[in-house]
Structure formats: C-alpha cells, structure tokens
C-alpha cells in the first residue's frame, strides 16, 4: 500500500544566503619562468617527469653536437614538490660522448631552483644504455625510466665531469663555475672519465632530482555534514600541514554561518563578535613537515529565511542544506 503524499508536497523557497564556508587547498608557488639549456655530443632526448622536452633524433651525420638548445619547460612542471630531469645522451660519430645542461626555474617570490650537469652524486644517477648501432647490445629503455617514480637504485655508474669547450655554440656559461677548473662554463658530464667515447654509438641514461617549492603551509577546511535539521550540531575542522624546513607560527580565522550559534572548539580557540558575525580563531605553531587539526562546533539554530513561511516550515520538521540553503520536507528517512 502506497503512503499518502497529502501534506508532504515538495516545497522549495527561493532564498539568498551567504555562508562563510571557505575551503582551502595547497597552491604551489607560481613559476614565472623555467628553461633548460642543453648541449650533447652527439645527440639527446630530455624529459621532466616523463614529459618530453626535446629530442634531437638519431642524427648520424651533421649531428647537433655543436649546438646549445634553449627549451621552455614550464609545461612539464604541473605540480610543486619533487621532480626528475631524465636525459638519454648518446654518441653517433665515435669521438666524444657527453652532455652539459643547466635547468633554471624562477619562482614568483624571487627564489630560483637550478640543476646542473655537475656530477653531484647526491642528486644524479647514471647508467649505460647499450649502443645505438649494435645488434647484440642495443639500446633498451627500462619502462618508466624517465618518470619520477622509477627505481634507479641500481644505477651506480659514476657521472664524471670535464671542462667545457668554452665555445658559446656548445657550452653554457654560469658564474657558479668561475675559476681555473671550468673557467665559468657549466661542466660536461659523461659515463667515461675524460668524456671520450669508448665505442661509436654508446648510449647513456641520466636522472637528476630537483624540487620546486610548495606553499609553506596548506590548510583544508571540512564540514561534518551539509544537510542539517534545526538544532543539529555541525563540526568544522581545519587540517594543516607545514611543508617548510622551519617551524611556522600563524593564526587560523573563520567566520561562522549566520544561521548557526557557537557551541565549542578545541585547541584553545577564541571568539570575537563583529556586528552580527562571530569569528573563531586559533593560534597555531607547527614544526617542519608536521601536521595538525583544529575544530569548532556550531548549532544550526535558525533557518535561512524569516517570515510566516518560516513558522510553517519549522512546524513541519523541515531541514535545509547548510551550504546552499535549499530546504526539504522531512518525514522519517524520506525527503520530499
């Protein structure tokens, strides 16, 4: 037998409600520019996190060994945090097998991230990759070798460095390398001491790790429920995480929705009233790479609109959405 719908028709009241529900997200610091300068003897293919930057192709005559490529890599940097620059460099002419590069990333706060072909064993991994001309020892690219998640713990080949030519066509200048050793030029890097080629067609893979900074602190606001009845208690929480290398002190403020009344909070919060608005706040101290959470409880003590229809709605046991203000007739577990 179907239940009668008499007296329980759908009822929606147009209304305008402003709620101070403001979710927060992690936003990376903006990258204003990101450029890779690279020259390989003889050829190369370069990637960031699996995103192709440039591939010279397998050129066996008139190879671009005497060219420096300048590539915009901002399109490959879609998130903050750790990254990997992955390069396949190889010989085609049987004389030299080496690569030189400088990755320069500038952030909107004026700071920069730089990665060089400096043979730094703490950030660079290298392994041989067969021979581009060999049938018995061909190039074999391990699946995912150019992505951040690839396990390169078995790559133990030394990344040797040697002096650049000092020729602007195939060398990269940088004052970091001023001095007698490199003469102001970014060094070349190779699998072979002296940067020579052992066999014509030798191929190598290099992975260099670097990090673009995230905002020092992320905050995410959550709500325990969105559809509430009159008098129901709602919990708002703020989860925070400090990505900085040092302890950070800050305050969290939140304005309570006008249809609610303050019930309580944790972690030593305080409340202040500005006109009809109640603001709750917490002082927060969080250590490097640490996280925490603070919460506030409020009661939904008023409906989003006032007037005669309000009284009828309240007597009927109505509920409403705390975010949109949309009303619902409620009977048991059914919404009408």
Q: Residue 328 is part of a domain; what is its CATH number?
A: 2.60.40
DSSP 8-state assignment for residue 313: H
Phi, psi of 27 (to 5 degrees): -115, 125
- C-alpha span between 45 and 58 (Å, rounded): 10
For the chain, 336 residues long, give each residue's pLDDT as a single digit of tens.
333 333 333 222 222 222 333 444 444 467 899 999 999 988 999 999 999 999 998 665 567 888 999 999 999 998 888 999 999 999 988 888 999 999 999 998 788 999 999 999 999 999 999 999 999 999 889 999 999 999 999 999 999 999 988 887 789 999 999 988 899 999 999 999 888 777 889 999 999 999 998 777 889 999 998 888 889 999 999 999 987 767 888 899 999 999 999 999 999 999 999 998 999 999 999 998 899 999 999 999 988 764 444 443 443 445 556 555 554 443 333 332
Residue whose token pair is 């040092």:
246
> Per the structure, how many domains does the chain have?
2
**Full-prediction pTM beyond 0.75?**
no
Q: Is residue 26 part of a domain?
A: no
- C-alpha span between 166 and 158 (Å, rounded): 24
* Residue 166 sits in the same domain as residue 283: no
Question: Last residue of a domain, which of 212, 231, 255?
Answer: 212
Strands 248-255 and 277-286: antiparallel
Which among 2, 99, 94 is positioned nearest to 41, based on CA atoms? 99
* Residue 137 sits in the same domain as residue 253: no
Domain with 253 in it: 217-335
Q: What is residue 309's three-state secondary structure? A: helix
Q: Which conformational region is residue 80 in: left (phi greater than 0), alpha (psi within -120 to 50 degrees), or beta?
A: beta
Q: Is residue 11 part of a domain?
A: no
* Residue 184 sits in the same domain as residue 330: no
């Amino acid at each position: 037998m179907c239940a009668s719908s008499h007296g329980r028709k759908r009822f929606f009241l147009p209304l305008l409600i402003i709620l101070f529900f403001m979710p927060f997200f992690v936003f990376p610091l903006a990258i204003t520019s990101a450029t890779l300068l690279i020259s390989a003897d003889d050829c190369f293919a370069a990637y960031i996190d699996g995103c192709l930057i440039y591939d010279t192709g397998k050129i066996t005559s008139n190879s671009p060994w005497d060219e420096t490529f300048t590539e915009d890599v901002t399109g490959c940097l879609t998130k903050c945090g750790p990254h990997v620059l992955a390069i396949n460099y190889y010989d085609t002419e049987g004389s030299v097998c080496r690569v030189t590069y400088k990755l320069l990333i500038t952030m909107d706060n004026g700071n920069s991230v730089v990665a060089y072909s400096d043979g730094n064993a703490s950030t660079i991994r290298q392994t041989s990759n067969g021979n581009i001309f060999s049938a018995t020892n061909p190039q074999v690219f391990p699946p995912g070798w150019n992505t951040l998640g690839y396990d390169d713990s078995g790559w133990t080949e030394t990344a040797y460095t040697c002096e650049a030519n000092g020729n602007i066509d195939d060398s990269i200048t940088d004052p970091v390398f001023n001095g007698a050793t490199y003469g102001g030029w970014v060094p070349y890097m190779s699998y072979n001491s002296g940067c020579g080629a052992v066999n014509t067609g030798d191929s190598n893979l290099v992975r260099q790790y670097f990090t673009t900074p995230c905002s020092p602190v992320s905050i995410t606001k959550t709500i325990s429920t969105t559809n509430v009845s009159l008098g129901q208690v709602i919990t708002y929480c703020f989860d925070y995480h400090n990505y900085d290398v040092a302890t950070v002190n800050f305050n969290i403020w939140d304005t309570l929705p006008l249809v609610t009344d303050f019930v309580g909070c944790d972690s030593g919060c305080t409340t202040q009233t500005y006109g009809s608005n109640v603001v709750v706040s917490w002082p927060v101290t969080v250590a490097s790479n640490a996280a925490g959470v603070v919460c506030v409880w409020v009661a939904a003590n008023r409906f989003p609109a006032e007037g005669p229809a309000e009284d009828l709605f309240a007597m009927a046991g109505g509920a409403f959405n705390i975010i949109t203000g949309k009303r619902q007739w409620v009977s048991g577990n059914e919404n009408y």
